[in-house]
Amino acid sequence: MEKKQQVVVIGGGPAGLAAAGQLQSFGLDVVLIEKQAQVGGHLNKWYKVFPDFTPAEEIVAHLKSQLGNTRVLTNTTVTAISGEAPDFSITTSSGEQIPAAAILIATGYKHFDARLKEEYGYGIYDNCITSVELDAMLKENKIRTLQGKIPKKIALAHCVGSRDEKVNNNYCSRVCCTNAVKLAIEIKEQLPESEIYCLYMDIRVFGRTYEELYRTSQEEFGIQFIRGRLSEASEKPDGSLVLRFEDTLTARPMRLSVDLLILMVGMEANTELAEIARLPLGCDRFYATLHGQYANNHSHREGIFLAGTATGPKAIMESITDGRSAAAAILSFLMQKAKGMEVKVPTLV
């Protein structure tokens, strides 16, 4: 390449950070735009990450250390994208115009709003919390009920806002099962006296060593897995909750009283840039990729790439890999453009 080319990465979560680090290592100028005050994305909220309990801070620190000369703009959003590849111009919330030969959208996801599952009483009952709130408690080593008591019985309800046509999310959020297993172990470590129940429909622990984590949770930590999806929760005057579900292995309806209910909230698309970037969405409302098999980092617009959970639920490790994969796709695109070659974008033949 004769002239240094600039790539703009939008979103500073694991995918965006990994991509930026990789792109600058290729010798490209990289601008990373993050709307929050700090990069790291959802990782900043997490305690430890499955399957190996790596502290989330460690992952952020590592990814940040790879950023090199990347120009990082925090507290900044993108308000307009004009032009076409390789001559995009990005307008930011601070009014700056940034030229870009290619754009990577790594804007992540939003958590499902658990209040929509009214039957679980989130936002109504004192001791119904989300997995996000539990992580904050774990971080402080202070798992308590709203009444300030140490919970004895704790249930984790899987598939909240996932695989549920009633909330228009038919897809599986993929990570919640393994996350629930990890959380259950962490609770047990902090509160060895507690009894922990996972209410699941299917256990989808899909990654390397995830199954071992699941097995460990049963063998070493005595986590109870009950095959039945939570149907409803109700509150008792002492703040404890009555859960109703079917134990589908014995085909009997059950009631279980717990002190704390944790809703494993799924992922929903964050498509704030869909209009600005003129990108189509899939039926799951995440960004559509050019091809589901062999062009997963390509959007439907030339020069605009996608990475991480912008294209569907992913684990941290997958988002990092996906960010780096996008970086490679961007480099390949720019090299071909620079040589004046017809860009070999994978297309539907």
Partner 1 sequence: MGKLIEELKQDIQYQHGMNACLNCGICTAVCPAAEVYDYSPREVMNICHQEDEEALIELLKSDKIWYCGQCFSCTPRCPRGNSAARVILALRRLSIRYGYFAESEKGRQQLFAKRVFGENLLKRGLTLLATNITPQNFPELGEFWEYYFEHMKEMREWWGVPMDLENSPGSHRIIPEKDMEELRAIYKATGALELMEAIEKGMEKKLGSKEEVEKYWQTWLETGDSRNYQLKKEKEEDK
Partner 2 sequence: MKVARQNIHWENHQKHIPTVEEEGGRVWGCFRSCFLQSAAPYTEGIAYKILKNDLGIDLREAPGHTSCGAIGYHGDVTKLETQMVIAARNFSVAHYELGVDNLFSFCVTSFANYTEMIQLWQEDPQLREYTAKTLKETTGRDFWIPQVCGYPSVVHASDIFYANRHILAAKAKYSLKGIKAVDHIGCHYAKIFPGEVVGGCEFPRVLVGLLEAFGAEIVDYPERRHCCGMGFRNCAFPENRDYTASSVYKKLSSLKETHPDCDLILTNCPGCTVFLDAEQGTIKEVLGVEFNIPVMDYAQLTGLLLGYDPFKDCGFNAKVVPIEPLLDKIGIPYDKSKTPEERRRPF
Contacts to partner 2 by CB under 8 A: 115-116, 118-119, 121, 123-126, 232, 234-237, 239, 242
Contact flag: residue 174 with partner 1 (CB under 8 A): no
Which of partner 1, partner 2, none has residue 245 at its interface (CB below 5 to 8 Å by kind)? partner 1
Contact flag: residue 224 with partner 1 (CB under 8 A): no
Q: Which stretch binds partner 1 (CB under 8 A): 1-9, 181-189, 222-230, 312-320?
A: 222-230
> What one-letter code names the amino acid at 8?
V
330 phi and psi angles, rounded to 5 deg: -65, -45
Which of partner 2, partner 1, none has residue 110 at its interface (CB below 5 to 8 Å by kind)? none
Contact flag: residue 246 with partner 1 (CB under 8 A): yes
Distance between CA atoms of 40 and 61, rounded to whole angstroms? Answer: 9
Instruction: Tell me the closest approach of the beta carbon of residue 266 to partner 1, in angstroms.
Output: 12
Distance between CA atoms of 162 and 173, rounded to whole angstroms? Answer: 6
Instruction: Tell me the closest approach of the beta carbon of residue 120 to partner 2, in angstroms.
Output: 9
Beta bridge partners of 88: 100
Beta bridge partners of 80: 91
Instruction: Tell me the closest approach of the beta carbon of residue 234 to partner 2, in angstroms.
Output: 4
| 259 or 318: CB nearest partner 2 | 259
Q: Is 12 helix (H, G, I), strand (E, B) or coil?
A: coil
Sign of CA dihedral 209, 211, 214, 218: negative
Q: Which stretch binds partner 1 (CB under 8 A): 10-18, 39-47, 158-166, 325-333?
A: 158-166
Encoding tokens for residue 341? 């070659």
Contact flag: residue 113 with partner 1 (CB under 8 A): no
- Long-range pairs of 292-297 with CB within 8 A, sequence gap ≥ 24: 294/346, 295/345, 295/346, 295/347, 296/322, 296/325, 297/322, 297/325, 297/326, 297/329
H, E, C per residue of 298-335: ECCCCCEEECHHHHCCCCHHHHHHHHHHHHHHHHHHHH
Contact flag: residue 231 with partner 1 (CB under 8 A): yes
Q: Which stretch binds partner 1 (CB under 8 A): 24-32, 57-65, 203-211, 238-246?
A: 238-246
Among 163, 174, 188, 314, binds partner 1 (CB under 8 A): 163
Instruction: Tell me the closest approach of the beta carbon of residue 115 to partner 2, in angstroms.
Output: 6
Binding residues for partner 1, rule: CB under 8 A, are: 119, 159, 163-166, 201, 227-232, 244-248, 251-254
